[in-house]
Structure 1
Amino acid sequence: MEKLPLDALPDALPDAIDEDKYVICTYYVGLPPFMDAREMAHAAAIEQSTGTWTLVPGETPEVRRRHVAKVIGVYEVPQHEYSYPKDLERREYIMQVAYPWKNFGAQIPMLLSTVIGNISLYGRIKCLDMKFPKSWLKGFKGPKFGIKGLRNLLKIKKRPILNNMVKPCVYTSCQMGADLAYEAAAGGADIIKDDELLANPDFNTLEDRIPRFMEALDRADSEKGEKTIYTVNITDSLPRMFENAERAIELGANGLMINFLAVGYSAFRHVSENLAPKVPLLAHMDVTGALSYSPIVGISSNIVTGKLPRICGSDITVFPAPYGKAPVLRERFLNVAHDMIMPLHNIEQTAPMPSGGISPGHVEEVVNDLGLDIVIGTGAGIHAHPMGPRAGAIAFRQAFDAKMQGIPVSKYAKEEGHEELKAAMASWGSGKTGADF
């Protein structure tokens, strides 16, 4: 390294790089105390850009200047200055590496191959964040609707949006599912969503399900005087998923959903940008835990579930909430939502959809945490209501009314005319539901 010019080294001061030319990644790294952290960071930067374990003839100073990744920060936490304890088993660092984005372009597969590719084999290394420049983001269209577009489409000015997942998750009779969707929609659900486990099996095909559901929702809409969106699950192998998208819209679907990690970000992006320009697209987060839930390896959930699906065009992203059955820390939950809604140059907001064991008794806490610009996702919170799914949806809308009026949900449930909310509170209260991990 010392034989190369300084500007060809895999190293730079953060003050000296042109940030518009780089994607900057922040990592947690844990190393044995005897290992040189900056040397390891340099090796990783070279591994993920121009080189390999030793310098090769073609890796000239000019190639390095154009393409090498730059280590711009190595910060030990806590920071030992003159010595470290003799019994110290591990030294822990926050590291930052800047990758020239022209190396991989405005796409996700080569981004991930670059920033968390081979180095993911190195042990304790987790990508905590990715900082994207405006020039890179211009290559993406982002959400077509986002929060504002969904409100305009549904004609909902201020309150939260209510999404219902049809339960049971997998079922044989399309008509049974349509009947359940009708009841939930008639009670006040704004969006009806397929479960992530039901897409296009032989016993419950899109061809059979979509017309029945849309007819049921049309009836519900005429009764309640509101619009309902049906996000049909088109997840499949490729290219069948693309065919599913086109066919679903032909059959009358006014929304689509994809298990985005199962099919890949680029497949999801292609549907958003090219196949479904006029309907909202919902991203379901299954597989997130496999990528994010280790504290020492993988990619942080705010990237996996927050930034990347938003950049790829998710209008609504489902993510686990700490109020119900999901095992997730509240601060991580809030960080994911933060990355869905904060300004991101040309990319619109994604509507956060907290989900996982949410009941009407959680509405107050959810809105306190995230505000009104959300989609609240619930399945059994509607379909397991003791008075039926229509009453379950009514109970949620009553909880929305309570919050909008500044009345505690528990108090509102006791008032005359709110029997549905009262029954929900009697069944589940406002505590954690489901399996408590």
Structure 2
Amino acid sequence: MSERIHASYWLETGDDPARAAEVIAGEQSSGTFVALPNETPELKARSGARVERLEVLDTSSLPSLPTPKRSPRYTRCRLELSWPIENLGACLPTLMATVAGNLFELRAVTGLRLTDLQLPASFAAAYPGPAFGIAGTRRLAGVNRGPLIGTIIKPSVGLSADETAQQVRELVDGGIDFIKDDELQADGPHCPFEDRVRAVMRVVNEAADRTGKKAMVAFNLTGDLDKMRRRHDLVLAQGGTCVMVCLNSVGLVGLHELRRHAQLPIHAHRAGWGYLNRSPAIGWDYGPWQKLWRLAGADHLHVNGLRNKFSEPDDSVIAAARAVLAPATDAAAMPAMPVFSSGQTGLQAHDTYAALGCTDLIHTAGGGIFGHPQGVSAGVEALRASWEAAMSGVPLAEHARRVPALTAALAFWR
């Protein structure tokens, strides 16, 4: 029996739902807007998308998205389609065009959201997924227990390479596990990539020689393929242990090619995720979206954070983290490490730990560390102490009585 790709959607349509489902299936496989002689029953049976499930949920008098043709009623459904693997082979870019291509633009569609994606084993064979994942990241960062305590260099842009290195010096002196570039910081004239890597790694290597602990720094090498390869090689040559890329900027091909070249973990930033996700009427759920990027090679994936500064609710953040941590199913690659960020402090540690039930994550706090009234080292200590309290089941205020840095942090985290 042929392997098949299965995709599930939330669909809204002003048309008959069964007819709309067939239109979508045809548009995303063998059909077009008129019947053609070459689209024979045999061809459709071999290559046409198949409607596997159509379940009506409710109706609305108004469309969720603009539509050129008004209808008295809009029906909302769960829709599952499947395609034979022979339509595309194990190819992530073509998969993207198949499950999330022109169907969003169809006239019959007034709302559409990709909610699930199940892939055949041939994808796992073609795309090896994360090279390092959780275990490799922990090994390189030297963190066997608890989350990686991390931060983001701020200001986002404007610091020179030497100023960036000075911030890193304060962080490594405080025992930080993980540091990342901001997604806006790549290779600008104020802070050229090569200068930044050399200056930062000089500090990191000196600290490692002195203390035996090497902080993991994710350098943002986002750019064209040749530049990303060269930048990766520079980080590797300087003793670095991580690189970073903005997924929506470089695309699936960019990430996969970097994965084929890389000898370091790839920290994957989801900058731009909001335009794919924020409207409930169109776009992607995080679960199917992250699966493609894991297959392409992401070792770490951003999931936002609890009580974040953005618009995403906490249940969505936890669902995203669980998806990234999910064990291998169908063709999903090994679990990656979820990255919690955005307005984070130690106040979220207990709830994050309770919701996930594990510490296989990177918890990054920018202002929550740099804003500590006793300095950066105290900020690192306070964030780490908050996780120690969470893992021990001790209330934060109680644990703070034994950790002055945490006591001071509680006064400004609020």
**TM-score computed with the length of structure 1 as normaliser:** 0.86
Contact kept in structure 2, 1:185 and 1:393, CA below 8 Å: no
Q: Confirm or deny: 8 A CA contact 1:171 1:177 kept in the other structure.
A: no
Matched with 1:348 is 334
Aligned pair partner of 1:268 in 240, 255, 260: 255
Q: Is structure 2 residue 48 aligned with structure 1 residue 68?
A: yes
Letter aligned with residue 133 of structure 1: P
> Following TM superposition, by how much is the alpha carbon of 1:303 offset from its aligned partner in structure 2, in angstroms?
2.5
After TM superposition, give the deviation of residue 134 of structure 1 in Å: 2.0
- Find out whether 1:97 has 2:60 as its counterpart: no
Tell me the SS of whatever aligns to 1:72: strand
Counterpart residue number, 1:13: none
The alignment status of 1:407 with 2:394, answered yes or no, reads yes
Deviation at 1:174, TM superposition (A): 0.8
Which string of whole-angstrom CA distances, capped at 9 and with x for unpartnered residues, describes residues 136-157 of structure 1?
2221111111112222223322
Contact 1:28 1:92 in 2 (8 A): yes
- Separation of aligned partners in 2, 1:324 and 1:294: 18
Residues 259 and 284, structure 1, Cα contact 8 Å, conserved in 2: yes
Matched, 1:363 2:343: no
Of 392, 402, 410 in structure 2, the residue corresponding to residue 425 of structure 1 is 410
2:150 matched residue in structure 1:
163
Task: State the number of aligned residues.
Answer: 398
User: Cα offset for 1:406?
Assistant: 2.6
Give 1:270 shift. 1.2
Distance 1:387 1:107 in 2: 52
Q: CA contact under 8 A between 2:307 and 2:313: conserved in structure 1? A: no
CA–CA distance in structure 2, aligned partners of residues 339 and 406 of structure 1? 25
Q: In the alignment, what sits opposite 2:307?
A: 323
Q: Residue in 1 aligned with 2:360?
A: 373
* Alignment match, 1:217: 204
SS in structure 2 opposite 1:386? coil
Cα distance in 2 for residues equivalent to 1:324 and 1:119: 32
**1:301 aligned partner, one-letter code:** Y
* Alignment RMSD: 2.0
In structure 2, give the amino acid aligned to 1:101. Answer: I
Which range moves more in the overlay, 260-269 or 100-109?
100-109
Residue 281 of structure 1: aligned partner: 266
Which amino acid is 2:124 matched to? L
Q: Distance in 2 between matches of 1:37 and 1:67?
A: 22
Q: Could you report, residue by residue, the CA deviation over 1:375-409 in whole angstroms, capped at 9, with x for unpaired residues?
A: 11221111122222221111112222222333212
Q: Is the 2:90–2:123 contact (alpha carbons within 8 Å) kept by the matching residues of 1?
A: yes
Confirm or deny: 8 A CA contact 2:10 2:112 kept in the other structure.
yes
Task: Tell me the residue number matched to 1:11.
Answer: none
- The structure 1 residue matched to 2:280, chosen from 295, 305, 312, is 295
The residue number in structure 2 matching 1:207 is 194
| Distance apart, 1:219 and its partner CA | 2.8
CA distance in 2, matches of 1:102, 1:334: 35
Q: Spell out the pairing of 1:81-92 with structure 2 (5 A cutoff).
A: 89-92=73-76
Q: Is the 8 A contact 1:27 1:95 kept in 2?
A: yes
Q: 1:138 aligns with which of 99, 106, 125?
A: 125
Q: Which residue of 2 aligns with 1:44?
A: 24
Q: Is the 8 A contact 2:90 2:122 kept in 1?
A: no
1:42 alignment partner AA: E
Cα deviations across residues 210-235 of structure 1 (Å, max 9, x unaligned)? 11111111233344432211110001
Gaps of 5+ in 2: 60-70
CA distance in 1, matches of 2:228, 2:140: 25
Match of 2:100 among 105, 116, 124: 116
Residues 96-133 of structure 1 show CA distances to partners (whole Å, capped at 9, x for unaligned) of 00022222222222111111211111331111111112
For residue 9 of structure 2, what is the aligned residue in structure 1?
27
Contact 1:188 1:224 survives alignment (8 Å)? no
Is the contact made by 1:73 and 1:96 (CA closer than 8 Å) also made in structure 2? Answer: yes
Letter in 2 for 1:21: E
Unaligned runs of 5+ in 1: 1-17, 80-86, 430-437
CA distance in 2, matches of 1:328, 1:21: 36
Counterpart of 1:107 in structure 2 is 91
SS of alignment partner, residue 302 of structure 2: strand
CA contact 2:306–2:352 (8 Å) conserved in 1: no
Q: Are 2:30 and 1:58 aligned?
A: no
Question: Residue 343 of structure 1: CA displacement?
Answer: 1.6
Cα displacement (A) at 1:426: 0.6
State how far apart, in whole Å, the 2-side matches of 1:403 and 1:222 are: 31
Identity of aligned residues (%): 28
